[in-house]
Structure 1
Amino acid sequence: MPVAETWLLPDGVADILPTQAHTIESLRRRLLDTFAVRGYALVYTPFIEYVESLLTTNNVGGGNNHDLDLVTFKLIDQLTGRLMGVRADITPQVARIDAHVHPIEGVARYCYAATVLHTRPQELSASRTPLQLGAELFGYAGLAADLEMIDLMLTILADAGLTQNLHLDLGHVAVFRALAAIAGFSAEQEQVLSNIYQRKSIPELKEFCQNIAHGNDFLVLGRLGHDLSALAAQLSPEARQNVDVQNALDQLATTLAHVQTHWPQVDVSVDATELRSYHYHTGLVFAVYAPNLAVPLAKGGRYDGVGQAFGRARPATGFSCDLYMLTGYLTQEEQIVVAAPAGREASLQTAIAQARSAGHVVVQALSFGKTTNALEIDHRATHTLVQVDKVWQIVKLES
């Protein structure tokens, strides 16, 4: 390879330079503290493990998670000959911990922040190495766990400085799944109709529903998925009496009221045809969007039974976000970098220690003779440490 190309990185992979890295790490620490004081225990998961673990789901749709399979890099373990994968999502790993590695009784709360790797960008101009931060709650099947997760997700975004013009989208995959069961759909029919809903294509929906049982229920869902009262009124009697449909619509209504009451600054809407990760999620799903951004800032939902393959199926709900995306919305704070002269005098060292205790970056010259040019001590210097009347003072550099 020519020398001129040795520094190039693959598409979707980038270095994080000092200023951005400082912002990301500061945010990561702050958000992990937010998790910690709410009882979410931090875990570190391996970046590589056997694909059987990485691709395990709750098997609602049968088999492994196809979407996750497509974005997972795979390689052969030189020790065992088995197929391994580099994690593309941390949620299955945390489910493995809850089910087998750390199987505590009752409710368990975990959080994480680590890099994942995707075979290709998930969205236009997205990174293939997102810094995934998230939380998972295991062991509670009630709606209260989902509400806690939504509150935590919105709190995390607020802590990151994202408080204005947010939109929360709510959905519930159980409505579609129950209607599909009533209609006696095959797995292939479910997948086709799920794709139509995700494309929001009413013409395709009308054509699909012409010759199927309970076709009008699916047309109603497509037209009125955002209006819970109208949707419930226009479903067929069999669909309205279905317990799963009733529970799903009740949960959507309760969640909508909760967000409107406790997060009035957040615009919220319902879309009962939101079937993102349909074969993975089992109940309420949610995503937060910012203006002029097609991909969500954060997303999550319920995925009961995810630990089944590990021998312990448990109710579960969670959310995740990409820290790199969040920091793109932050205003860069001006960092004070103080250039200090060389020397071990007690007064100088005390002044340096006090400045560092105040949160300032202090860089001391490595040798004498560099004390008059702060930028030679550190190119980022904004201030210098000078002695005036035997007192060390921090002085701002002139522009």
Structure 2
Amino acid sequence: MTKAPALLPEGLRDRLPAQAEAASRVIRALVDAMRAHGYGRVSPPLAEFRETLGGDDDRTARDLLRFTDPVSQRTLALRPDITRQVGRIATSLLKSAPRPLRLCYAGQIVKLRASQLRPAREMLQVGAELIGSDSVAAAREIVTVAIDALEAAGIGPVTIDFTLPDVVDLLASGPLPVAASVESLRDALDAKDAGALVRLGAEAWLPLLRAAGPFDQALADLRAFDTTGVLAARIDALEAIAAPARGRASLTLDPTERHGFAYQSWFGFQIFVPGQGDAIGRGGGYAIPVGETEEEPAVGFSLYPDPLIDEGLGSENGAERRIFLPLGHDPAIAASLRADGWQTVAALSDGDDAKRLVCGFVLGPDGPIEV
């Protein structure tokens, strides 16, 4: 019998004990902080029917790793995102639950393809969703919960970058119509390409490129740009949403940023940590489909802490509370040590050694002895 090589598919990997323990500690800290705000944890399945994960949508379908279910003979997919699953739970199993409904989650997701910034295809997603409202008060709460969770997990300092995902549609259908396609206009603004705006005949949009950067200045520039007052309510709302984050995070604003905001509605935000090229979290307002024609408003955020865990977030010295139990030790003493938070490693033979087994202590006649 030929032994299979110890290889994994591209973008997938094993977590060894230290990393797995660190990931568990980070998950626990994040989820506990969310639960402290009244968010109940749900745990959707790893795979669902393709349609419920967005398989009928061309953009979403590109992220789905699909296979045929031998039981139902229908196409299943591994989830590339948990937010959609939480929406399904909220509008089906919990459709009669009082609103606003607060839910949180933590689990693995699998992408069909990786990106240059995120070479992993499997990653951890932790988040919270407030369903039934996308008001300013709801948005303020979700930003506060995100910051509390990040601080509880030891993630920081962070920068929160706010955006207005629907600002182009709002302006193009009102005071700033353009002859070119709205999609071309979005591309030019997203690329911060002033020349492209001129070529599109959208010179009036040029000041919007300057309304980006540190939050207060960018917000002032956005107010100056909004001579018709179309954006006044949005600007006031952003100022109110950002208020609880002042002094706890660096704040920036880029009103035309749309990378990663495929389904967010009137406001969104990204979370950045120094040294990380991609955002470690995203959130904002969105709508959950209910039936054929109805929608339910919601706000939420998702965190992707894998890169930070790889760099040591949540790790601790495994030898500090790890004690070696020699042959013939008293099982009752060992049980009391475990109850007190120690990790016990029992000798199985005379050849076992405390240091080799990464133990910082040995159980002696009078208790733990430091190695």
What one-letter code is carried by the residue in structure 1 that aligns with 2:76? Answer: M
Say whether residues 1:322 and 2:315 are aligned partners: no
Query: What letter matches 1:380 in structure 2?
Result: V
Counterpart amino acid of residue 92 in structure 2: H
Which residue pairs with 1:294 in the alignment? 277
Is 1:99–1:312's contact at 8 Å kept on the other side of the alignment? Answer: no
Q: In 1, distance between residues paired with 2:324 and 2:292? A: 55
What is the deviation of 1:291? 1.6
Please state if 1:37 is matched with 2:36.
yes
Q: Tell me whether 289-298 or 120-129 shows the greater mean CA deviation.
A: 120-129
Q: Which of 309, 314, 339 does residue 357 from structure 1 map onto?
A: 339
Structure 2: which amino acid aligns with 1:32?
V
2:169 is matched with which residue?
Answer: 177
Once residues 23 and 347 of structure 2 are traced to their aligned partners in structure 1, the CA distance between those partners, rounded to angstroms, is: 28
Residues 42-86 of structure 1: CA deviation (Å, up to 9, x unaligned): 111111112221117xxxxxx8371x3222112233344433221
The reply to whether residue 283 of structure 1 matches residue 266 of structure 2 is yes
Output the CA distance in 1 between the equivalents of 2:118 and 2:131: 34
Alignment counterpart, residue 206 of structure 2, candidates 183, 196, 219: 219
Query: Which residue among 325, 338, 361 is the counterpart of 1:383?
Result: 361
Spell out, residue by residue over 1:307-328, the C-alpha distance to the aligned partner (whole angstroms, 9 max, x if none). 3357752111111112322323
CA 1:82–1:31: 2 relative to 1, 3 Å: same
Corresponding residue to 2:249 among 261, 266, 286: 266
- Counting matched residue pairs gives 362
Q: In terms of Rg, which structure is larger? A: 1
- Find the aligned partners of 1:72 and 1:315 in 2 and give their Cα distance: 25
> Alpha-carbon deviation of 1:217?
4.2
What CA RMSD, in Å, does the superposition of the two structures yield over aligned residues? 2.6
Work out whether residues 144 and 244 of structure 2, in 8 Å CA contact, stay in contact via their aligned partners in 1: no
Query: Out of 318, 328, 339, which is 2:324 matched to?
Result: 339
Q: 1:310 to 1:155 in 2, by over 3 A?
A: farther
C-alpha displacement at 1:99, in angstroms? 0.7
Check whether the contact 2:129–2:301 (CA below 8 A) recurs between aligned residues.
yes
1:255 aligned residue: 241
Greater helix percent: which structure?
A: 1
Q: What is the DSSP-based 3-state SS (H/G/I as helix, E as strand, rest coil) of the residue aligned with 2:122?
A: coil
TM-score by length of 2: 0.89
The residue aligned with 2:197 is 205
CA distance in structure 1 between the aligned counterparts of 2:185 and 2:261, rounded to whole angstroms: 11
- Give the drift of 1:147: 1.1
Point out where structure 1 has 5 or more consecutive residues left out of the alignment.
57-62
1:374 and 2:357 are equivalent in the alignment: no
Give the C-alpha shift of residue 106 in structure 1. Answer: 1.4
Superposed displacement of residue 281, structure 1: 0.8
Structure 1 residues 1-399: aligned runs within 5 Å: 3=3, 6-55=5-54, 64=57, 66=59, 68-103=60-95, 104-164=97-157, 166-182=158-174, 189-208=181-200, 210=201, 215-226=202-213, 227-235=218-226, 237=228, 240=229, 242=230, 245-260=231-246, 264-304=247-287, 306-309=288-291, 313-327=295-309, 328-330=311-313, 332-335=315-318, 336-343=321-328, 348-366=330-348, 369-370=350-351, 373-375=353-355, 379-387=357-365, 391=366, 393-397=367-371
Q: Displacement of 1:297 after TM fit?
A: 1.8
| 1:184 to partner: Cα distance | 5.8
Q: Check the 8 A contact 2:162/2:268 in 1, yes or no.
A: yes
Residue 57 of structure 2 aligns to which amino acid in structure 1? N
8 A Cα contact 1:339 1:384, kept in partner: yes
Percent of paired sites with the same residue: 26
Cα distance in structure 2, aligned partners of 1:133 and 1:331: 15
Deviations 1:336-359 (A, max 9, x none): 221102336xxx223212321221
> Which one-letter code corresponds to 2:364 in the other structure?
V
Spell out, residue by residue over 1:123-143, the C-alpha distance to the aligned partner (whole angstroms, 9 max, x if none).
435311001111111011311
Distance between the aligned counterparts of 1:278 and 1:334, measured in 2? 39
- Give me the whole-angstrom Cα distance separating, in 2, the residues matched to 1:308 and 1:184: 32
